[in-house]
Structure 1
């Protein structure tokens, strides 16, 4: 029997049937939805008089364009208000669980599903959102889908798909001081490019990923999409099982023991062959920042911007207001955003609080702390991190996607720089004309205190 990869095992377990000389029908275990990509899909089903096939396998939340101040008040923005009202109506009508505004489980869809135990190893998980790859941290096949596919899953709990190719990224060795999971994935993307994963599902392997917390693994898998991959996966292990154990909707007792026995069979077999493979030495990785308008335009914080001669490269530098060969150390910054589905979990905020404790943010800095969920917000309070943030002059907001994609009022003004823990630095991503520099929570915290980018590799 052929040695199988983690991806092969999960995929093969979910194939319902094959279309001769065509795609496969893949069963979907869990469907996550939010207010932005679901209305059209619900409308399509209604027009065709098709019921939602398995509402119990769908979980909804409001996250993309919710306000992060005074969430108890009516939403002012008409589009946002209509989308959230429509989500509520559709969920009630179709008997779908909704964690809407005001619910103690509300939050960013890719934060709440793992923390509630909805995300588990060996599953297939989809959502009308590209960063669904986050859930692959548990050894699940998780990926974003378009509106027509959302309707397909509503109607059949299945998808018609061609099986992607397999890619493995190995990182082994010992990390330098202050190198975080965010730095690791930014480094990988900067080395292999934003198109290297196109057509592939990526597995991350090596001691560096095995030694990571689940929060760190989620950060890495979250950004798989930024190198063009369909998704990212990390094999489940004792770290995974311990994380899941006491979660609200996770299996309990004997059921959990049985599941763990199965989950232990999922890691890639010795000798399994991948279509493409990359290997990196952990010692080569340092704290990272981006300088351009895609996540592959990244450098070590101590490096200078490259001197490439390329029209799109030069266009990106012009937009960012940077020069070839320039160092970004001591670059003045006015905005810092710590949040998003990449870095808004409790571990991220503990890192920030540890660094800023007893310090004060620079006068020129607007620093936003946006927890990924109501549960994370509660943990921040319970651990007293809120007092550290407030004493340092940071603003703590209510949960939502916030300034990651600026679909609410949390926008960065045109021409301003924002050091952001988000996943994308496209033109206008955080507000029209805004300039985004991607970084880890630690680099963002250090920037907020200094009012400029500083070298934290030796701090």
Structure 2
């Protein structure tokens, strides 16, 4: 009997044709697009006079370039950004593709919108011209990012020429300690295996820690796995998955029975062999924060900032020196107490309702520190409405946070939510590269609870000293 991993089952079930030993022609169930990686793809189709093969299996979302300040109707005033949005609208209209434009009530960040609309289901293959498409693995779907030329291929054929990845299992046991979350866990693990530790692999997460996570916490975990170089991230579907999908997908009773029966086969076979494995004990975890300019340059909140000579290789030492120079930290000093200018709550990593509940629970009755500008950008129109209905938005406003419209916002400097040069930001996003949030901006990645605590304290602080994190 051929024992297969979950990843291998998903690839084999979607293989239209094997091209050679390493490559297959892969069928795509859903293709998600945004305004900045699709224009050249549509231009390529038009130059060849080729239509979109399956418009109903596409979804387009304007999310990266859109301003998030309160305004009705929402307007994109930057000329280049408006051109991108208008191009997408025109291309979608001509091809019959559903578009969530600037003023669509369901508009938001693509990786939050697709699951909450019930479009992401176990066993699917889902592609998008964005690296954080790995998010969908939280629901047992194979999701990964593609380039513009591949976007064109998918639009034209609903398939992709795909090089099969190696397989990796990351097994995590133990209860998450007080003050920690799946964001702390993934930052902690990336710090240990490195930014290239999972390069070329499809990662499957297993273990009691993962089993205990909500579907939204799993999305955070899978979203950031690409920061370790992974080509995909997966979690086998279970009752948590089924509850989430049932709530969002709107199946009939008969369709649900058939689908859920099939989904229960989506797991790695007993005895299947992975190409690589890691094991972690989550019970030893502390809140984490990045100290440098790569997600793997991370530390537990009660540790000291490293020095270049703490590392074994000249390359690592030089990288550390450059990162510390850019971020403005001193080696062998605590990071606790480092003042922040900005706090950003949002992104496809942590812009879901569960994240906003966590922030509101911590800041209720408190005030953002003087001199700190704190922004909350819900991940979608649906998240925004739910937060307002639950009273979360009012709690945040009363605490001194700006309550914004949905979008990618300050995750990346493609809109007007940017850091000024030298500003330091406590951010719940996925990348802390040089200039990622604005030229010369300094980004510290952390969990929603840690960012909320920083907003109240006015500096990076151990959230465990702030009371409840629920």
Q: What TM-score do you get using the length of structure 1 for normalisation?
A: 0.98
Alignment correspondent of 2:388:
381
Residue 71 (structure 1) shift: 5.4
Alignment correspondent of 1:320:
327
Residue 38 (structure 1) shift: 0.6
Detail structure 1 runs of 4+ shifted over 4 Å in the superposition.
none
The alpha-carbon distance between structure 1 residues 317 and 256, as it changes in their structure 2 partners (threshold 3 A), is same
Alignment correspondent of 1:107:
108
Among 381, 396, 405, which residue is 2:412 paired with?
Answer: 405
Alignment correspondent of 1:202:
203
Among 427, 437, 443, which residue is 1:430 paired with?
Answer: 437
Alignment correspondent of 1:421:
428
Alignment correspondent of 1:300:
300
Alignment correspondent of 1:56:
56
Cα deviation per residue 1:289-338 (whole Å; 9 max; x = unaligned)? 00000000000011111223311110011000112112111111110000
Counterpart check, 1:330 vs 2:331: no
Question: Which stretch shows the higher mean deviation, 302-311 or 145-154?
Answer: 302-311
Residue 386 (structure 1) shift: 1.2
2:350 aligns to what SS in structure 1?
coil
Residue 380 (structure 1) shift: 0.8
1:431 aligns to what SS in structure 2?
coil
Alignment correspondent of 2:281:
281
Alignment of 1:10-409 (within 5 A): 10-21=10-21, 23-69=23-69, 70=71, 72-247=73-248, 249-309=249-309, 310-409=317-416
Counterpart Cα distance in 2 of 1:91 and 1:289: 40
Residue 455 (structure 1) shift: 1.4
CA contact (8 A) 1:245 1:252 kept: no
Question: Which stretch shows the higher mean deviation, 16-25 or 183-192?
Answer: 16-25
2:136 aligns to what SS in structure 1?
helix
Structure 1: any 5+ residue segments left out of the alignment?
A: none
CA contact (8 A) 2:182 2:218 kept: yes
Residue 255 (structure 1) shift: 0.5
Cα deviation per residue 1:176-212 (whole Å; 9 max; x = unaligned)? 1111000000000001000011110000110111100
Residue 250 (structure 1) shift: 4.3
Cα deviation per residue 1:351-397 (whole Å; 9 max; x = unaligned)? 00000000011011100000000000000110011111111000010
Counterpart Cα distance in 2 of 1:63 and 1:334: 25
Alignment correspondent of 1:452:
459
Cα deviation per residue 1:418-449 (whole Å; 9 max; x = unaligned)? 00000000000000000000000000000000
Cα deviation per residue 1:230-252 (whole Å; 9 max; x = unaligned)? 011111000011111131x4433
Cα deviation per residue 1:107-161 (whole Å; 9 max; x = unaligned)? 1000000001100000000000000000110111100000000000001000001
Residue 20 (structure 1) shift: 3.6
Matched length: 458
Residue 175 (structure 1) shift: 2.0
CA contact (8 A) 2:39 2:88 kept: yes
Structure 2: any 5+ residue segments left out of the alignment?
A: 310-316
Residue 22 (structure 1) shift: 5.2
2:202 aligns to what SS in structure 1?
strand
CA contact (8 A) 1:116 1:250 kept: no
Residue 72 (structure 1) shift: 1.3
- Over the aligned positions, Cα root-mean-square deviation in angstroms equals 1.0
Counterpart Cα distance in 1 of 2:177 and 2:396: 27
Residue 411 (structure 1) shift: 0.5
2:59 aligns to what SS in structure 1?
strand
The alpha-carbon distance between structure 1 residues 189 and 20, as it changes in their structure 2 partners (threshold 3 A), is closer
The alpha-carbon distance between structure 1 residues 115 and 410, as it changes in their structure 2 partners (threshold 3 A), is same
CA contact (8 A) 1:419 1:439 kept: yes
